Structure 1
Amino acid sequence: MAAEIDGEFVVFVLGLRVHKLWKIHKWLPIPFAMNRMLAELEDDPGSGFLGYQSQLGIRNHVYIQYWDSFEKLREYAWDPGREHYPAIGDFQQTVGASDDVGIWHETYLIDDQQYEAVYLNMHSHGLGAAGDLTPAEGRRKSAAGRLGETSGDDVPMDDDGTLTSPEEYDSL
């Protein structure tokens, strides 16, 4: 299956890094606040939030979020009536410039058809969960095809999954 999202979208990657595990009172409120934010966003189809994935570890938590626009992401972040606004204020008051825990984010603006994603034997995940899943056939058969660079016939594999020889691949 291949992921499809119509138009431009945003990939917002954020996380926290616990530097001092024993200062649980400093870092534990952050994942709880994040859970409240995610629940709030999932309950609001007009927010522009398309979905997320999380990877939680002992020291590092990473969240990958998908948004339909940067404007919607920014609007959410600075809305005093939403969960993020007071949470960032609480973080500044409780953690501030200490080195007990760090937070970070990266924002990527993705142009229409300037991404590719494929999923084999996977439940809905990543872009596939945020957008639509379509069969990986035709132009979606190859990474270059999904990026619009080829017609999708540039993989050394037949439609039934049989690998072809490198010579056959080179002639495509």
Structure 2
Amino acid sequence: MPTHTAPASPRPPNLTHGPVDSLVVFHIGMTIHRPWRPDLWGPVFAAMPRMLAELHRHRAAAERGEAEDLGFLDAATLMGAKGPWVVQYWKSTEHLYAYARMGSRAHLPAWKAFNAAARKHPGAVGIWHETYAVDPEGIETFYGNGATVGLAKAVGSVPVGSRGRTARQRLGTA
């Protein structure tokens, strides 16, 4: 007796990131030194989701032509052993620094509040950031089987073969 099996779904494509003219990768996080004192680190922890929500809303409004482009592309939040860590993608350092200085946006008030709390309770929570201005020619990405995260989520993706089949080819070192 013949059996009927459903045809296999086609395999999702292998991808690489879409074109970028310039790129800044910004890592920011906090280190919780006194986990038993959420009253000291909680406000710092709560500030980042507000900033990210603001940046995502503003990006969507800019894409609709309703707001100025702040240069924010996307972000991913990670959790480490000592606290949260956010990887952000920006169009340029100028965009990133301009946002950081805007008194009308969520970052500057949060930064001032952190500094005031840090003076009252030194060592309770640390914050850190790293900024990488990346040469677009020095970026290699691979998103296998249709994965879309990180830079591909921020700027879009293209078939991996359009940039080269191997990592060396995509990086231009083959």
Given the two structures, how large is their TM-score scaled by the length of structure 2? 0.81
Alignment of 1:93 onto 2:131: no
**Distance in 2 of aligned mates of 1:2 and 1:83:** 33
Deviations 1:15-49 (CA, angstroms, capped at 9, x unpaired)? 10101101101111112110110011111121100
Q: What's 1:70 paired with?
A: 93
Report the AA paired with residue 140 of structure 2.
Answer: E
CA offset at residue 59 of structure 1?
A: 2.9
Deviations 1:64-90 (CA, angstroms, capped at 9, x unpaired)? 000001001000001111100000000
Deviations 1:131-172 (CA, angstroms, capped at 9, x unpaired)? 12111115431111111223xxxxxxxxxxxxxxxxxxxxxx
Alignment of 1:32 onto 2:55: no
Q: Secondary structure at the match of 1:113?
A: helix
Give unmatched runs, 5+ long, in structure 1: 151-172
CA offset at residue 10 of structure 1?
A: 0.2
**Distance in 2 of aligned mates of 1:98 and 1:122:** 46
Report the AA paired with residue 93 of structure 1.
Answer: A
**Distance in 2 of aligned mates of 1:139 and 1:5:** 10
Q: What's 1:111 paired with?
A: 135
Alignment of 1:43 onto 2:57: yes
Given the two structures, how large is their TM-score scaled by the length of structure 1? 0.82
**Distance in 2 of aligned mates of 1:101 and 1:117:** 34
Q: What's 2:77 paired with?
A: 54
Instruction: Provide closer, same or farther for how the CA distance between residues 25 and 122 of structure 1 changes in structure 2, counting only shifts above 3 A.
Output: farther
Give unmatched runs, 5+ long, in structure 2: 1-14, 60-68
Aligned residues: 150
Identity of aligned residues (%): 36
Instruction: Provide closer, same or farther for how the CA distance between residues 144 and 58 of structure 1 changes in structure 2, counting only shifts above 3 A.
Output: closer
Q: What's 1:81 paired with?
A: 104
Give the 4+ runs in structure 1 shifted more than 6 A.
none
Q: What's 1:153 paired with?
A: none
Alignment of 1:10 onto 2:24: yes
Q: What's 1:165 paired with?
A: none
Q: Secondary structure at the match of 2:88?
A: strand
Q: Secondary structure at the match of 2:160?
A: coil
Cα RMSD for the two superposed structures = 1.5
